[in-house]
Chain A
Amino acid sequence: MGTIYITQDDAFIGKTDERLQVRSQKKTLLDVPMIKVDGVVVLGRATISPAALIELLERKIPLSFLTGTGRFLGRLEPPLTKNIFVRSAQWQAGENSPQAVHVVRGFIRGKLKNYRNTLMRAQRDASDPNSAAVAKLAEGIRRLEHAIAPINTTDTIDALRGLEGAGSAAYFGCFQHLLRAAGFSFTTRQKRPPTDPVNALLSFGYSLLRHDVESALNIVGFDPYLGYLHTQRYGRPSLALDVMEEFRPLVVDAMVLAAINRRSLTPTDFSTEPLSGAVSLSDDGRRTFLRLYEQKKQSQFKHPVMAKQCTYQEAFEIQARLLAKYLMGETDQYPPLVLK
């Protein structure tokens, strides 16, 4: 079953026996055995019964709260596992220690290589190799290569952040050329609030991804609030944001582009708030998006390190475990997930 998303504002989440039930206006929207639930994400203002809450905690099922537009608000989580060994290794790799530098290199290299591979695929798939768009993609790829090349010889996290910034700018600089559906355009990445449909989808997707990556880190025993790339300087210390980096292009960007280019979502699925200009999905659009995200998470690929089939859902945990093995000195590298 996986993650349950509850989007109805007036929904009531309760439990009967060993089942989680969601009701709205006297109708049952969902009735599933607890054992099949990996996580619950509430979007908006649904109510949850104390009994259901306790059951989720006892079963160690994380519950995240997002606003109706998908902004992450917080989460309720069972206590961290007893794995003090992973957490102490995490703390021992202090800021600018060789291990911290190594993992930050991995997060950034993973993300930028996946960015570059996305652009290269678009370049290969282009119908007219001489178009201005293809020239723009080539330029983006060149700039990304430029940011990737010095990563392994850069020794401070600040300088690595600079490379990450340059690479992301190069990628989003030609992101509009990845869109092939009328009515959608992209200029720059806008976060709070997103003021166009593409940014709204990206932000929404990253919130969902964060819920999943944070759950994986928690299972492995990490403290998700101690990060290496995202530290106090970025406002929120978070290992979840670090580990998310390599997955952003692979999971969220890929599914957002597919949703737009295959016209699963159209401009009519969005509405704009009057004063702020904040753009959000309609109820139907949101349901479509959640379904596509869940599908993406369950899609299979061959993990390049473990050399076996896995889903992205499983890969979140595999990457967290590989990170733990590196920090505990079992392996001498952290291999980010890089897919062609």
Chain B
Amino acid sequence: MIEPDYIPIAALNHYNYCPHRCWRMFCIGDFTDNQYTIEGTSLHDRVHTVGDSHREEVWQIRAVWLKSERYGLIGKADLIESENGQWYPVEYKRSHRGEFDNDELQVCAQALCLEEMTGQPVPVGYLYYAQSHQRQLVNLSDELRQTTIATLEAVRTLLHTGTMPKATYTPRCKGCSLFQACLPQAVEKVGRYREAE
């Protein structure tokens, strides 16, 4: 495998959801659209109209490429805002607050890039939930930063070695768009199966 120079920010999110999913998407290119990803895409299509506009004193820039040399990260932010000279990322999410706590990682990774690009500290970011039109503050604490960096290192190792993390069946498999390809219960089921004589 070629060593990727930069880790896609989205990979962190997927890794946190399920390492096997991250492997499927980024090591073997298994990507099937299901309802979730299709809806997600159309929402993103709308958010991703490149351009900037003013909203009172808030600067908004949509669909910005973010990059960090220090952390080897790359990704596209839905929305970056600046208020009183303070930059922060806003990440759009399809539904209400996710059951699994991985969206904050994405905001944090965007903030790490933004800090490097602007040379200013970015203490907070936001998650915007399209269904409830709610913005949620993400406090970019040291703890969250450490978790983000640790996840980033784990993803980097995964992408470099290509070693498959085991597929383990958990409740989140039900909402996973790769379920049909992954068949997370198959190993156990094949192990138990006795062919009819």
A interface residue numbers (CB < 8 A to B) = 81-86, 109, 113, 220-221, 304-307, 317-318, 321-322, 325-326, 328, 330-333, 335-336, 338, 340
Contact = CB atoms under 8 A, between A and B. Distances in A.
Nearest to B1: A84
Most buried by A among B1, B186, B196: B186
Contacts of B27: 85
B30 interface: yes
User: Which applies to chain B's interface (DSSP): helix, strand, loop or mixed?
Assistant: loop
Interface of A is mostly: loop
A335 B192 CA distance: 11
A83 B187 CA distance: 19
B190 A305 contact: yes
A331 B196 contact: no
B29 A83 contact: yes
A269 to B, nearest CB: 36
A290 B43 CA distance: 40
A321 B181 contact: yes
A205 to B, nearest CB: 25
Interface string B21-36: 0000001111000000
B196 A338 contact: yes
Interface in B172-197: 180-181, 183, 185-187, 189-191, 193, 195-196
Contacts of B181: 220, 321
B168 to A, nearest CB: 12
Contacts of B190: 305, 322, 325-326, 331-333, 335
A332 B191 contact: yes
A335 B195 contact: yes
Contacts of B191: 331-332
Contact of B189 (A306, A317, A340): A306
B189 A305 contact: yes
A321 B28 contact: no
A304 B183 CA distance: 15
A318 B189 contact: no
